Amino acid sequence: MANIKYEIVEKIAVLSERGVWTKELNKISWNDREAKFDLRDWNHEEGRMGKGVTLTDEEARELLEALKEVL
């Protein structure tokens, strides 16, 4: 399996916690690319991450507008 390089550029919010796992919204640069919004579970104690979703700025704006309509 190839190594995945990432850098958490900006920590935005911890949405929930369960034991050592947290669901976080961050801005992350993957493999030295431009940072994107990233929503996923993290276990920082063990350096592990769960599956997540990344969003460009435009996708994040579209998601925000969609959430405003239903919340």
What's the CATH number of domain 6-70, 2.30.31.70, 2.60.120.560, 2.60.120.10, 2.70.98.60?
2.30.31.70
Supply the pTM of this predicted model.
0.89
Dump pLDDT digits (tens) for 13-53: 999 999 999 999 999 999 999 999 999 999 999 989 999 99
Confidence of residue 4 (pLDDT cuts 50, 70, 90): confident
DSSP for 2-64, written as a single string: ----EEEEEEEEEEEEETTEEEEEEEEEETTS--EEEEEEEETTTTEEEEEEEE-HHHHHHHH
Dump pLDDT digits (tens) for 46-67: 989 999 999 999 999 999 999 9
> What average pLDDT does this structure show over 9-16?
98
